[in-house]
Amino acid sequence: MTQRALEIAADVRARKRSAVDVTREALIGIERANASLNAFHHVFVDEALKQGTRIDALVAQGLDPGPLAGVPFAAKSNFAIGGHTTIAGSRARLGIPAAIRDADAIARLKRAGAVLVGTTHMDELACGATGENPHFGPVRNPHDVDRMTGGSSGGSAAAVAARCVPLALGSDTNGSIRAPAALCGVWSVKPTFGKLPRQGVLAYASSLDCIGGFANDVQDLAALYSGLDGKASDERDSRLRVGILSGYFETYASQQAWDAVLETASLIGPHELIDMSEDDMRLGCGAATIVSNVEVATAHAGLLDAAEDTVSPRLRTRLLAGALTPAAWYARALDYRRRFRASMVRLFADFDVVLAPCTPLAAPRFSDATIAFRNHELEPAKHLGMLTQPVSFAGLPVVTAPVLRDGHMPFGVQIIGAPLDEAACFAAARRIEQGLTHTSRTSIES
């Protein structure tokens, strides 16, 4: 599906295309791509066509179906879909009752005219960073099927990158939207903690979880965000003050990942380096891990008694770690979070946005037990989220910009804003997209 979301919506509203035909095209594309990518868990053929028929009927009556009229979208399988079981990548959940109603985010996009075509694979209960699921198999990167998508929203990122759908929903706790967006080369948004409703989204760590999503360009991403937020995103035309998080973020980025940050910063305008203490960032990651483990263990305590073959050893270990964490440690981690967040927010007294790499490196191969760079040797499962986790811990909004170059795997750059200033993130994203498009065009013409 090569058409952008807003182009589809305009064509459907103008009766140049029917929503049913658009839906059928998406369903055919999903069937073709999913055999190699394993991005989709469930495809809603009949329900999607029924939604498309409803959109076409509204158009025929002269009514406006909404700003996303007829646009196919997918949702990570931890979003509730009325009449279907919320699997969330867990075999232990296969037998639970179906959801009574759609998650609020799903309902909002449907009201905007979008058509839900399927749910996407994810790491087990969102506990993972690679996109590999022990029960349903790995999601494969559309740029190279021998490589990871990142997780836990890997299926949604892959579905957008493969052009199966123009929009997809994901969730992010420690980097689960941003890392897959970076590795798959698509745009994404993770808003300020608490900005968008999470009703109907299965919890991982309730004090860190955010919902957001993916698109192939900034305008579509902004339309997705507006559909979720219920209002148009604010425009920012003023000059942006730009910082680059260095120190820890440069130390644990490959040269290519760091070059991507420098390149995108130059497209926005003048910028300054901000030396971020490695000790502070590591403490932030450590505290975030404690909070995540305790909260996932609380949310899913019953899985410790589930049949052994329905819960992977990795998840069971995570649940045990959280269950056995002393309450005093959890309280101290939350207290540190308040101080850590305050220190990060202070950056925005001098800057409108700050940039940082999304992941230390490009998408690893499934066979990569470790990856060596800059005198570091990192395990993908443990370290793909090490540059996103501190930003999540501070609850800050992020738009992820993809940097794609012919012959190379994609990289991603975090565009980070002050709390509730998603508008600044989108303003910087638009400038980056314009600059990258101009650079690519100039390169082709020369």
Give the pair of three-digit tokens for residue 262.
Answer: 């420098």
33: how many CB neighbours lie within 10 A of its CB? 20
The letter for the amino acid at 156 is S
* CATH annotation of 242-445: 3.90.1300.10
Where does the chain hold its CATH 3.90.1300.10 domain(s)?
5-229, 242-445
Q: What is residue 421's DSSP assignment?
A: -
Average pLDDT over residues 159-185: 98
User: Nearest to residue 264, comparing CAs of 348, 353, 190, 181?
Assistant: 353
**d(Cα 399, Cα 402) in Å, to the nearest integer?**
10
- For residue 199, name the pLDDT band (cuts at 50, 70, 90): very high
Q: What's the pLDDT score for residue 65?
A: 97
pLDDT over threshold 80, residue 232: no
105-115 pLDDT, tens digit per residue, is: 999 999 999 99
Q: What is the DSSP string of 282-301?
A: HHHHHHHHHHHHHHHHHHTG
Give the per-residue pLDDT at 237: 65
pLDDT digits (tens, 9 = 90+) for 358-409: 999 999 999 999 999 888 999 999 999 999 999 999 999 999 999 998 899 9
CA proximity to 211, closest of 187, 186, 193: 193
Cα torsion angle, 344, 350, 352, 357, sign? negative
What is the dihedral sign for C-alpha 236, 241, 246, 248?
A: negative
State the pLDDT at residue 410: 98
Interatomic CA distance for residues 359 and 253, integer angstroms: 7
208 touches 173 (CB < 8 A):
yes
Q: Comparing C-alpha atoms, which of 415, 385, 395, 392 is closest to residue 403?
A: 415
pLDDT of 313-349, one tens digit each?
Answer: 999 999 999 999 999 999 999 999 999 999 999 999 9
Q: How far apart are CA 136 and CA 425, in angstroms?
A: 35
Distance CA(108)–CA(216), nearest Å, equals: 21
Extract the tokens encoding 78. 């931890």
Q: Distance between CA atoms of 392 and 208, rounded to whole angstroms?
A: 7
Going by C-alpha positions, the residue among 405, 411, 439, 431 that lies closest to residue 260 is 411
How many residues are given for the chain? 446
pLDDT band at 231 (very low <50, low <70, confident <90, very high): confident
Q: Are 156 and 169 in contact (CB under 8 A)?
A: yes
Enumerate residues 6+ apart whose C-beta is below 8 A from 324. none
- CA-wise closest residue to 105 among 54, 156, 160, 144: 156
Q: How high does pLDDT run on average in the chain? A: 96
What distances in angstroms separate CA 101 from CA 68, 82, 364, one per listed residue?
21, 4, 38
Task: Give the three-class secondary structure for 407.
Answer: coil
| Residue 236 identity | R
Please give the Cα distance from 93 to 310 (Å, whole number): 9
Q: How far apart are CA 421 and CA 367, in angstroms?
A: 40
Please state the φ and ψ torsions of residue 80, each to the nearest 5 degrees.
-65, 135
| DSSP three-state, residue 241 | coil
pLDDT at position 1: 83
What percent of the chain has a predicted confidence (pLDDT) above 90?
93
> How far apart are the C-alpha atoms of 304 and 163, rounded to whole Å?
38
At residue 436, the pLDDT reads 86
Place of tokens 């730009």: 242
The more confident residue out of 437 and 100 is: 100
* Residue 270 DSSP code: -
Q: Is the pLDDT of residue 442 over 50?
A: no
Omega of the bond leading into 152 within 30 degrees of 0 (cis): yes
Contact indicator for 40, 30 with CB cutoff of 8 Å: yes
List the helix and strand counts (H, then E) for the chain. 15, 15
User: Is the distance from CB of 214 to CB of 187 less than 8 angstroms?
Assistant: yes
Residue 444 has pLDDT above 60, yes or no: no
Distance CA 439, CA 353 (A): 22
The residue-averaged pLDDT of 410-417 equals 98
Side-chain-side CA neighbours of residue 43 (13 Å): 21
The string of pLDDT tens digits covering residues 248-293 is 999 999 999 999 999 999 999 999 999 999 999 999 999 999 999 9
pLDDT at position 230 is 83
Alpha helices for 129-277 (secondary structure H): 154-161, 178-184, 218-229, 248-251, 255-268
CATH architecture of 5-229: Alpha-Beta Complex (3.90)
User: How much is the pLDDT for 445?
Assistant: 44
Q: What residues are annotated to the active site?
A: 76, 152, 176
pLDDT band at 438 (very low <50, low <70, confident <90, very high): low
- Between CA 37 and CA 52 the distance in angstroms is 25
pLDDT tier for residue 440 given thresholds of 50, 70 and 90: low
Q: Percent of the chain having pLDDT more than 70?
A: 96
> Smallest Cα–Cα separation from 123: which of 364, 408, 381?
381
Give this prediction's pTM. 0.96
Task: Write out the two tokens for 69.
Answer: 């009229």
User: What is the pLDDT averaged over residues 123-150?
Assistant: 98
Res 437: pLDDT: 78
